[in-house]
Amino acid sequence: MFIKQLYTGCLSEAAYYIESNGVAAVIDPLRDIDEYLQLATERNASIKYIFETHFHADFVSGHLDLAAVTGATIIYGPNTQAGFKVTVAKDGEIFNIGSLSVEVLHTPGHTLESTCYLLKDENKKDYCVFTGDTLFVGDVGRPDLSQKGEILTMQDLAGMLYESLQTKIMPLADDIILYPAHGAGSSCGKNLGKETFSTIGEQKKNNYALNQTSKEDFVKAVTEGLAAPPQYFPINAKINKEGYESLDKVLADGLKPLSVADFKALAKDENTFILDTRHATIFTQGFVPTSISIGLEGRFAEWAGSLLPFTKTMILVTEIGKEKETVVRLARVGFEKFGGYLNGSFEAWQNANERVDMVVDVEADELAMDLPFDENIVVIDVRKETEYADGHIAEALNIPLLELTDPASMADFEDNQNIYLHCAGGYRSVIAASLIKQQGIHNLRNVLGGWSHIKELKDKFKIEKNVEVLN
C-alpha cells in the first residue's frame, strides 16, 4: 500500500495518490496533472480511478485532463449530475485498487454530492478516510455554497451535514487516519487547523463541530461567523460541473510571447487587462501603467480569483522564467482567457522608452513623523475587518482589499489628500495601490512592512482596538 498526500500550499489544497500492486487512483487532483503522471511512471503503475469528493468551488480539478491521458474512470458520489462522462457511485459501493478497496460514503451537506472515500487495507481493515470538504482538521465544510437551482438554505445544508457526520463519520474507529481536502488558509471552512491530516479520534475530541450537543447547536455553530465566499467560488464550481478547456490549450494562449508593440496594442482594448505577477517590492519601483499587481509570492491564485474579471482577456508581465508558473496557477482557479505575456518582462518596456508608473514606498517611521503635521494624510488599512478590530492606527480608515474593486469605495477622496496604504505585511497594500491607481487616484504611498512594522513603533503611533467588531 502506498499513499501520498500532494499538498499545494498557496491553495491549501490536498490531492492524494493511492497505489497497490501497480494499480493507482488519484483523489481530488489539481488542474495541472504532471505530478500524478510522474508518480505513476516512477512507480510503474497505471491510474485506474479518479475519485472526486465533490464539485470543488475553490479550484478547477484536473479530472478531465487526467482521464483523457490515462483512460481512468472519473467517479463522483450519489446525486452527481455532470456535463461530461462520469461514474456516479452508489452509497456503500466498493472499488478495488490492487489489494486495497475503497468504500463510498455519501455525506451531503457541504454540497449535495459530497462524498467521503473509506480506504480499506489488504486485510479489509478500515485504514483511512478521504473526507474532501465534509470534515477538516478542526472544522467542517461551509454549508453556504448551494449551487444555482438548488432550493436550499445554508441551514438546510448544515442539517444534512450534521446527519452525514453522525451516521457516516462518527461511527468510524478512532485510529482511522483523516485525510481532508484542505488545510489552514482555505476559505472552504472558517476554523481549519494547521495540520493537513489527523485521526478520527482526535477530531471527535477536539473538533468544535463534532462536539455540539444537538443538531440545532451544530447548525448554529457552523453557520455563524462565515465570511462571504470568494467571488470565484461559483465560477469554479460551474467549471468543474460542466467541463473546461484542456490545460494545454490554456498554456498555448498564455505562453504566447508579445513584443512591446503587440503588448501595447492589446492593452488598449477595453476587454483586456494587464496582470503583473512580479514581487510586490519590485512592482512598486516601476510598472506598465494600469497594471494590477498580484505577486506570485503570496496566496496568488486566491487573490486573482477574488479580484480579477473572468470575462476579459488577460495579458501578463512576469519575472523572466515565471511565465508558465503564472499561467498554471491562474488556470487552477478557472482563468482561461489569455492574450500572452510581455516578452522580456518590464525591462523590455523600459528599454523601449514607454511610459512607466510607480508607487512610492515609505517606512512606517516616516508615516509616524508625517502624521502629526500633515492634516491631509489619510491612512487606509486594507486588512480584513477582524484584523483591523484587533489593532489599528487611530482614525485609519478600514477598506478591506476586496472592496477596492468597487470604484465607489474611493469616491469621496479629494485630490489634495495624501493617501498612505498598509496591510499586515506589504503584499495586499501593493495590490490595493494598483487597484486605486486604476481609479485615477495617484497621490498615494505604500507603507513597507505594513502593520507588522507599525505595531513595533507603538510609541510613535496612537493605536486603537475595536472590541465591538471582534464580538
371 pLDDT above the threshold of 80: yes
Boundaries of domain holding 17 = 2-235
CATH at 437: 3.40.250.10
The model's confidence at residue 470, banded by pLDDT at 50, 70 and 90, is: very low
Q: Is the pLDDT of residue 467 over 90?
A: no
The residue-averaged pLDDT of 241-252 equals 95
Q: Is residue 240 part of a domain?
A: no
Is 116 in contact with 169 (CB distance < 8 Å)?
yes
pLDDT at site 415: 80
Cα separation of 137 and 191, whole Å?
9
* Grid cell digits, residue 18: 493511492
- Which pLDDT score is estimated for 468? 45
In the predicted structure, residue 115 carries a pLDDT above the cut 50: yes
CATH number of the domain enclosing 190: 3.60.15.10
**C-alpha grid cell for residue 229?**
465566499
pLDDT of 401 reads 96
Could you tell me if 121 and 56 lie in one domain? Answer: yes
What distance in Å separates the CA atoms of residue 88 and residue 79, rounded to the nearest whole number?
8
In which band, very low, low, confident or very high, does the pLDDT at 149 lie, cut at 50, 70 and 90? low
pLDDT of residue 471: 29
| Domain-embedded: residue 112 | yes
Q: Is residue 214 scored above 60 in pLDDT?
A: yes
- Do 403 and 454 share a domain, yes or no? yes
> How many whole angstroms separate alpha carbon 72 and alpha carbon 37?
12
Q: Give the pLDDT mean for 428-454.
A: 95
- Answer yes or no: do 324 and 397 share one domain: no
Report how many domains make up the chain: 3
Q: What is the largest CA-CA distance in the chain?
A: 76
Task: Indicate if 109 and 196 belong to the same structural domain.
Answer: yes
The pLDDT of 61-69, averaged and rounded, is: 97
CA distance 437 to 359: 9
pLDDT at 148: 61
Q: List 51's β-bridge partners, or say none.
A: 27, 75
Q: Which residues of 256-272 are buried (b: 16+ CB within 10 A; e: fewer)?
A: bebebebbbebbeeeeb
Q: Are residues 336 and 371 in the same domain?
A: no
Total-model pTM: 0.93
β strands within 98-165, DSSP E? 100-106, 115-120, 126-132, 135-136, 139-140
The angle at the Cα of 166, spanning 160 to 172, to the nearest 5 degrees, equals: 135
Which of 302, 305, 280 lies closest to 433 in space, CA to CA?
Answer: 280
- φ, ψ for residue 385, nearest 5 deg: -60, -40
**Dist CA 449 CA 426 (whole Å):** 5
What Cα–Cα distance (Å) separates residue 229 from each residue in 142, 187, 281?
9, 7, 29
Q: Looking at the structure, do residues 255 and 187 belong to the same domain, yes or no?
A: no
For residue 458, the model assigns a pLDDT of: 84
Last residue of a domain, one of 235, 268, 301: 235
- The cell numbers describing 448, all together, are 513597507
pLDDT recorded at residue 19:
98
Same-domain status, 206 and 277: no
Q: Give the list of residues 6+ apart from residue 311 with CB closer than 8 angstroms, or none.
A: 271, 337
Residue 127 and residue 226 share a domain: yes
Q: Which pLDDT band holds residue 414 (cuts at 50, 70, 90)?
A: confident
Angle ∠(374,375,379) on CA atoms, nearest 5: 85
d(CA 108, CA 110): 6
In the three-class reduction of DSSP (H, G, I as helix; E, B as strand; rest coil), residue 418 is classed as strand
